[in-house]
Structure 1
Amino acid sequence: MRTASGVWRWRHNPLRRGTDLAEAWVALAALVMIVLAGPLVGWFCGAFVDRALGDVARVQHLHRHPTTATVIRALPTRSAVPNPDGIADAIPRGRAAAHWTGVDGSRHTGALSTVKRHDSPGNRLRIWTDDHGEIVTRPMTPSTARAHAVLAGFGAAAATAGVIVAGRRLVVWRLVRRRYVQIDRDWAEAGPDWGRTGTGS
């Protein structure tokens, strides 16, 4: 509202300069673009990411399968690296050799990262494998994909607003420079006669 009133106030002000009116219009245009373009870009970006990640999640659920691995023996672990606060991990981690059967019937043996208390021989661990029985991460859930899409939408809207604000600042900076150039030019013309009698000052 202040921007719109500023444009209206400068329309017939006898003291206004061309750059003043241009600056007010630039501010109004930037405000309108932020209100309209920011949410629109955010919505389109969020919808695109939602579709893309939704497709990824569906493919992962088709080709990633839960299975059970049986621990054979515990494996030595490297010494834990403390976090920057110097506090040890609340859940001790370990490694274990285990065997499992893939969805295609193939048998596999390998090292798994486990919670320390689950690395005893005979313990059964839930893991995810691909179509060939190789270990993969858990497939993405639809809620996770949607959360990423929402964050991407907000990020795109914020980035759009930032670009618009930066563009407005650049235009205003150019207008201020032009204003100073005009002041210097006018002063160069009027300065030598400033205060003299009969010069119209």
Structure 2
Amino acid sequence: MSSESPQAQPPSAVPGAAPVRHPYLLLWRWRRNPLRRPSDRLGAWVSLGLVLAVLVAAPAAMWGVGDSAYRHYRSTAEHEARSRDHRPAVLTHDAPRHPEPGSDEAKKARYPVPVRYTGPDGVSRTGTTEVRPGLAADSTVLVWVDAQGRLTEPPLTAEQIRSRTMGWAILAFLGVVLAGLAAHAATGLVLRRRNLAGWDAAWADTAPRWSRYP
């Protein structure tokens, strides 16, 4: 008995696997074919234009907004350094003790405590500032005071300026990218509605001719 070798079979698709697409399928809107509509070519040109616009505008917006933010925060820091003063203040109450003295958390913890200090005008004032845990009443700490004699935050540091500048720059970059995506989605929606309207018109013209046949 002669045995016949089985014929080769095409590989079966793996369940759940994504279909294999050739790279040229991604550029079908650019290739000549009888199924390509004018709206397909228009959508391709719009997509290309949006990609190029985002590639140019996003870095430009990131640099422009970042530079403006840096100038703003640097000017703010200089104004704060001129208008704020570091002054001694005396605790009027004991600061709470941390439940885990000596721990890393205790070293970073700060508790609000009432203090008494002298403002730039020489008048004694009271306020609340954050101090290390465990400080006893009548201990002296340094506080920042503004020109009106109110307790305030220290002037912006170089690290804070860089952090805030980078935050605004990243937001500007993402804003341009999201605007490009929104424009692409809106364009696709308009073209899709235009295609559907064209199909409806074509069907309205074709359907009566089909109804002539039994």
* TM category, shorter: 0.7 to 0.9
Secondary structure at the counterpart of residue 127 of structure 2: strand
Measure, in 2, the Cα distance between the counterparts of 1:101 and 1:55: 27
Contact 1:7 1:24 in 2 (8 A): no
Output aligned runs, 1:87-98, within 5 Å: 91=109, 93-96=111-114, 98=115
Out of 21, 32, 50, the residue aligned to residue 30 of structure 1 is: 50
Paired amino acid for 1:68:
P
> Does structure 1 residue 122 correspond to structure 2 residue 138?
yes
Residue of structure 2 in register with 1:131 after alignment: 147
Residue of structure 2 in register with 1:6 after alignment: 27
Residue of structure 2 in register with 1:51 after alignment: 71
Contact 1:106 1:133 in 2 (8 A): no
Relative distance call for 1:70 and 1:179 in structure 2 (3 A) is: same
Out of 110, 114, 117, the residue aligned to residue 100 of structure 1 is: 117
> Does structure 1 residue 42 correspond to structure 2 residue 42?
no
Query: Which 4+ stretches in 1 moved above 6 angstroms?
Result: none
Identity, in percent, stands at 22
Relative distance call for 1:176 and 1:32 in structure 2 (3 A) is: same
Residue of structure 1 in register with 2:81 after alignment: 61
How many angstroms does 1:168 deviate by? Answer: 1.3
Out of 185, 189, 205, the residue aligned to residue 173 of structure 1 is: 189
Residue of structure 2 in register with 1:191 after alignment: 207
Measure, in 1, the Cα distance between the counterparts of 2:130 and 2:141: 8
Relative distance call for 1:56 and 1:14 in structure 2 (3 A) is: same
Relative distance call for 1:146 and 1:91 in structure 2 (3 A) is: closer
Higher Cα Rg: structure 1 or 2? 2
Measure, in 2, the Cα distance between the counterparts of 1:74 and 1:128: 20
Secondary structure at the counterpart of residue 117 of structure 1: coil
Structure of higher RCO (CA pairs closer than 8 Å, 6+ residues apart) = 1
TM-score with structure 1 setting the length? 0.77
Residue of structure 1 in register with 2:38 after alignment: 18
What number of residue pairs does the alignment pair up?
178
Paired amino acid for 1:34:
V
Relative distance call for 1:92 and 1:100 in structure 2 (3 A) is: closer
How many angstroms does 1:131 deviate by? Answer: 3.3
How many angstroms does 1:194 deviate by? Answer: 3.5
> Does structure 1 residue 71 correspond to structure 2 residue 91?
yes
Measure, in 2, the Cα distance between the counterparts of 1:37 and 1:127: 45
Secondary structure at the counterpart of residue 46 of structure 2: helix
Structure 1: gaps of 5 or more residues: 77-89
